[in-house]
Homo-oligomer: A and B are copies of this chain.
Amino acid sequence: MNKRLNVTQHNTRPDKKAIVLLSGGLDSATVLAKALAEGYECYALAFDYGQRHRAELVAAERIAQSMGAKAFKVIKLDLSSIGGSALTDMAIDVPDAGGSGIPVTYVPARNTVFLSIALGWAEVVDARSIHIGVNAVDYSGYPDCRPDFVAAFERLANVATKAGIEGHTLHIATPLIDLSKAEIIQLGTSLGVDYALTVSCYKADNDGLACGRCDSCHLRKEGFAQANVADPTAYKETS
């Protein structure tokens, strides 16, 4: 799909073009569905950042294609060499659910890095918004999922770019920011998202089967239960 990007898009107005961060998980699939429903031409962006759960990337591409994103791109970025997180450092175990404070699965500055690269792509395709699936549940533990962070990044984006200098406004859209996991699932279901395509598990195997035990699996299971929506997740037999 990357080849399409070589063609400059003249037909779509910049304010109707969006970069959508797509992880392959439940939240970002919902964000993509909402942006498409709002009429945005969507440029879906995923990252190969040395994460344990590489089934995410396969899921992200499947989601982008099946939902009709204009383009899908994976950026390789070796954050594992920085270390510091259970998601990229094989020496740190991913814990089961529970615990308080900033979790060990927090990847230092991850959303800052992802949004920055999205900003670069937004400049190239002349998109005026970046859509990201941060939400109230993540807010509890990750510094870079808070509304303050998003507001600070938006201010940065508007001084960091050509478009900003030329007087255009770049918007960071966070449609899930105030939603619980159950509300996200209800929103996505109403928009026709097929959550069977998504992978949330931090320990998913190569087939995308979920462990059913990590923080991410726990939140997802609870979300489907509270939303009264059948959980389509495929779990490993041992869980």
Contact = CB atoms under 8 A, between A and B. Distances in A.
Give the copy number.
Answer: 2
Interface string A217-237: 000000000000000000000
Contact of A124 (B84, B110, B160): B84
A30 to B, nearest CB: 24
Given A106-B162, A116-B109, A83 B155 contact: no
Interface of A: 2, 5-6, 73, 75-79, 81-84, 102, 106-113, 115-117, 119-121, 123-124, 143-144, 146, 148-149, 152-153, 155-156, 159-162, 164-165
A118 to B, nearest CB: 8
Nearest to A112: B116
Nearest to A101: B162
Nearest to A2: B81
A69 to B, nearest CB: 16
A143 B162 CA distance: 6
Contact of A153 (B77, B78, B156): B156
Contacts of A143: 159-162, 164-165
A155 to B, nearest CB: 5
- Most chain B CB neighbours (cut-off 10 Å) among A78, A82, A109, A111: A109
